[in-house]
Chains A and B, each alone.
Chain A
Amino acid sequence: MKEPKQSSGSNPLRIAVDKDADEQALLMDNETFIRIILKDDPEKGFAVLFKKYYGPLCSHATRFVYSKEIAQDIVSEVFLNFWNKQLYLSVMSTFRAYLYTAVRNSAYNHLRQEFGERQQESGDRLAAAPELVEDVDPQSILLLSELMTKIERAIESFPPQCQKVFLLSRYEGRKNREIADELQIRLKTVEAHMMKALSILKKTLSDYLK
């Protein structure tokens, strides 16, 4: 986020949203299309759904957990659960809304386990994915979006070297030893950087992970 902050107040535009009927129809059709295949041939429909959303969902999960590996695990688990419990038969909202909600909740629960106050059970991470969008309250949706920004800001605020170590270790999943070699610093320094990064993150997240 290197762009200067734009004060939205300076641009008091009146916006008439162009309700794009045909575009919406196309999107709805896409969902309906997948629904139809899922009914006729669940395996194939599932594959279509998976191919369409796996990438973007991983990308989205990364914004929360900041680890490629964990993000991919979370998304795979959500899909697996969707398949095993045959949720495509019961999910009433669009699959898109369901999948995003499930991935976000799951990522959130992961953060809670990792940074929270340690009262959480390490139980079913998927417990909180509703099957109806009506069951979601707007506040929690926004809270998650806000959390995503908070995390990004926190990581941006790390001192440069600390940020580098953090990203290599967590995002890329590299071992401390390898990082020390690559950056030509002592192993102890790598550990110190990680400690610092994680404590900043924990502090930033404390309000959100109650």
Chain B
Amino acid sequence: MSLFFIVALPFFGALLPGLMNSAGRAACAGVTFTVSLAAFIGLLTNLPSVLAGEVVMARVEWMPSLGLNFTLMLDGLGFFFALLILGIGLLIIAYARHYLSREDNMGEFFTYLLLFQGAMVGIVLSDNILLLLVFWELTSLSSFLLIGYWKHLPEGRQGARMALTVTGMGGLAMIGGMLILGQIVGSYDLSVILQNRDLIQANPLYVPALILILLGCFTKSAQFPFHFWLPHAMAAPTPVSAYLHSATMVKAGIFLMARMWPVLSGTPEWFMIVTTAGLVTMVLGAVIALFKHDLKALLAFSTVSHLGLITMLLGTGTAFGAMAATFHILNHATFKAALFMSAGIIDHEAHTRDIRRLGGLRTLMPVTFVIATLAALSMAGIPLLNGFLSKEMMLEEANHTVLFGVPWLVPALATFGSLFSAAYCFRLIGHVFLGPVRDDYPAKPHDPGAGLWMPPGILVLLVVVIGVAPFLAEPFVKLVTASVLGGEAEVPKSYFKIWHGLVPALFMSIIAVVGGLLMLAIFNPALRLWENTPRPEAKRIFDAIVETSVRLARQLILPLHNGAFSRYAAIGSIAIIAAGFHAWTTGTVGAPTRDVQAAGLVAIAGWLMLVAATVGMVFMHRNRLLSLILIGIVGLMVSIGFVFFSAPDLAMTQFTVEVVTIILLLLALNFLPNRTPVESSVLRRVRDVGVAVAGGLATFVLAYYYLLRDAVGTPISEFHLANSYKGGGGTNVVNVILVDFRGFDTYGEIIVLGIAALLIYALTETLLNGPVRARLLNRKPDQVRAGDTHPMMMVVLTRVIMPVVLMVGFYIFLRGHNEPGGGFIAGLIVSIGVVMQYMASGFAWTSARLKYPYHGVIGAGVLIAGLTGIGSWFVGKPFLTSDFTYVRIPPFEKFELATAALFDVGVFLAVVGAVMLSLESFSRLARTAYTEESEHAMDIDPSRDDPPPGGAGLAKEVV
């Protein structure tokens, strides 16, 4: 099966559990299992090529310009990890089906699990490091969801947050490291990077890259000093813990270290950092684990310890170390997943995981006892079980490793760690299963159904088989080791054997096991000593760091973001001006290339009017109606300016938009107070004037400078001018650009316009159905209303003029392709015509005569434009390719038919709909507020002559 399918299956499959949720728990788990199984089988179909030593590749160019390609690669190492992820994933799914209770939302759980699985498979199969980073972050996110699955538990939420913070920060560091690596090599493809060991290690940026990447690996794999998040992630349901902490999440860091081993390892820096961190983690985790009373916490710290062991082995940088690490990854995944699942069984059946409350379960839960004991003994390193073999190899390797120039340091610490490791395994067996049967279990423990013990049972079978017959696993482990080494070193010849003779590793092993038993014998005094030893609490430190950063962030943000819009606006303006000033002072400006054009009297007069209106607005803005009139003047002058500077289309658009905007603002002003009170202090106004003048000067200087200089490159407009008629069939280039060259832009814009109108409509609906409705109904107009609600002259005139307006609109629309005009302008003109009817004859009269709702008009417009675009697909052209032809129907002149005109119809309809829906929404507000509106448009308002007492009657009759 193609690698794409293997990665994509879990992601697409993640849609299914949610859908199957209502079909029952078995169906939900079944579909999840099937998805995983399909991916698993797909992986196995690639086994022959991997065994033959080939590297299976799959490649799709995604963003080649960024070096980001969807490239997948399957070699021995990737196959090994994918096998663990999918194989153990299958067992976990079967286990979770029986583990989760009826209250748990199974669809949600399996959705997260599949997302996580997909992300993990993605990491191990990525050939592109940027792609790998994407999957890496996805595992952080999906594990966050999994750890926090029991949202009602505060520990779950805190644990999930902590895991996300730590692994997320590590991920960020790793992005930096990977980018450096990519820059050094000049490619982001792993297959290329892995070939460039000498280039990378000789580069001065090697050490920063190494540290950043290791930060990512160490946080993910819970290496000291980032080990603290893992035990807190134990608040997750046990299947999650078993999955995340045995085979997947925490192994991702290990995987990456193994993956990068050929290029990063072998230097003193790598050796010092990785070996030390691994060694410290291994010893620390083992010691803490022994004294944990929560079964899952004990297993969590033992995981930390074993991850440290693997890290240390990778850190040694020798081929034998890499092989031991690979073998231990396999062994650890099998026994640790089995142990976690056994812990889950005990929790499930006895309703407690506290070791102090357990004991004597041997006779009550014999099956669980056998499974857990075999797994624990393997973890302790007892012969005939797989843990023994890799532990032996670790001790052998430790024996040859010299750290800080002290030959006995690593072997001694490794033995010490193994001793504690053996001790906690024995404690797990002794304190949980052995001893007398108690009578105070929270629930009566008994063996669960096969659904719960089968999955760990299968894993323990592997533990025993590999332990008894290591030669079965040997070829596979050596194959994986070969791909870890990547040709940088020879795969060691040594065979996997139970008996190597009387080698130092055997004695170290015996010391560890015997010491572990002794440790258990003196457990109670040791525990007292441990509890009386002061030690830093990682969670408290973490919380303190988080709190400090939150406080610092608040101190920075709150003064800036205090809820005052005017403050943000001022800060934003000043920042933009400052950035522009910086660019201005550091950049260069060429000499003017254009001549200054002389300004005529008319131009100066227009400028004077514009400036006077603007200045007047600033000084008289407290009188709102006056400022509205003044802004109308500004708009008018801008339109005239457009005409003057050869932009007739713009002028028409600006002019018509001006009309509807002013109507809109008038409708709003209907409700708002008529005056703006004086509130700001003089100092504040001086500040605002300062900001305004600075901004004005900046835009003035910028505009002046570039108006006098030609563009540096050749504008693409030459192309538009040259092809407008030939390619687009129109002589109005602006219109052809809108409906043809940049039709997709226009299409997006009418959609945005439609959305804006729908938003306004939705807001109005909310207002009218909420508490505002009562306020509106009780509202009294603050000014005497016109007695003549529908002035007769206006009614007559608007009705007479309506066909003329429509005709003008139609004309403007039709000529648009060749003369100034087009869909936008025609739409605005027709809207104004309809608005005039509303204003003159009243809302009720006009609405009653409307056949189509405005939403429908917007929708029709967007649809027509879209369908026109899609039409070009049928002739095998890209979206929105236009075509035109000339037709002659006698006795008319020859005329042009263009698909662009159909598109323009869409634009026209969308504009009409959007403008009308906005204005109509505003007037519906007004209508609710004070309606005394008759259906007959030419009535005289009688209340003017005979005002009701107190004016309260106005709002009573609501239509």
Instruction: Say whether A and B bind each other.
Output: no
The residues of B with any CB-CB pair to A shorter than 8 Å are none
The residues of A with any CB-CB pair to B shorter than 8 Å are none
